[in-house]
Amino acid sequence: MTAASEPARGAGVTAGSRSHRGDAHAKTSAAATFALVFGVAGLFSVLTAILAWLGLVLGIIGIILGIVGLKMARRPGVTGRGVSIGGLVLSILAVLIGLGLAAGITTFVNNENAVDRLQTQVDKLRDKLD
């Protein structure tokens, strides 16, 4: 190969990427990534209302992993602070919505008038089907 056919040293590398050579080997914290995954899964589960209990559990696990991910992101060579914060926010939302849903269902079930109204509606629907 001749010197003319070889690319110039640093060609194809932008000025912004040259200044961050130390971050080239930084890895995203696994705890932060799992916090985001558990947060999204927990939020989707809670929003289905049928799997709200599962979403509550996933949200709690996501909160724990989010805190661990934030602590790990402080270490040199480890990134993932934003991912960890995102997972933490989604997990907290999943837990809050799950607790609100559980409180609403508990209140509804303990209200005799509401249960009687629901039973009346179910009976009317059964009569229509017959």
Query: CA angle, corner 64, sides to 61 and 69, nearest 5?
Result: 120
pLDDT class for 114, splitting at 50, 70, 90?
confident
Nearest-angstrom CA–CA distance, 46 and 44: 6
CA angle 104, 61, 83 (to 5 degrees): 110
- The string of pLDDT tens digits covering residues 60-91 is 999 999 999 999 999 999 999 999 999 999 99
pLDDT at 99: 94
Half-sphere exposure of 63 (CA within 13 A, CB side): 12
Give the model's confidence band at 11: pLDDT under 50 very low, under 70 low, under 90 confident, else very high. Answer: low
SS (H, E, C) 70-91: HHHHCCCCEECHHHHHHHHHHH
Global model pTM greater than 0.85: no
pLDDT at 19: 44
Let me know: does 39 contact 90? Beta carbons within 8 Å.
yes
pLDDT at 52 exceeding the cut of 50: yes
What is residue 8's predicted lDDT score, i.e. its pLDDT?
A: 56
Is the Cβ–Cβ distance between 69 and 111 less than 8 Å? Answer: no
| Amino acid found at 116 | D
Report DSSP letters for 3-58, one per residue: TTTSPPTTTT--HHHHTTGGGGG-EE-HHHHHHHHHHHHHHHHHHHSTTHHHHHHH
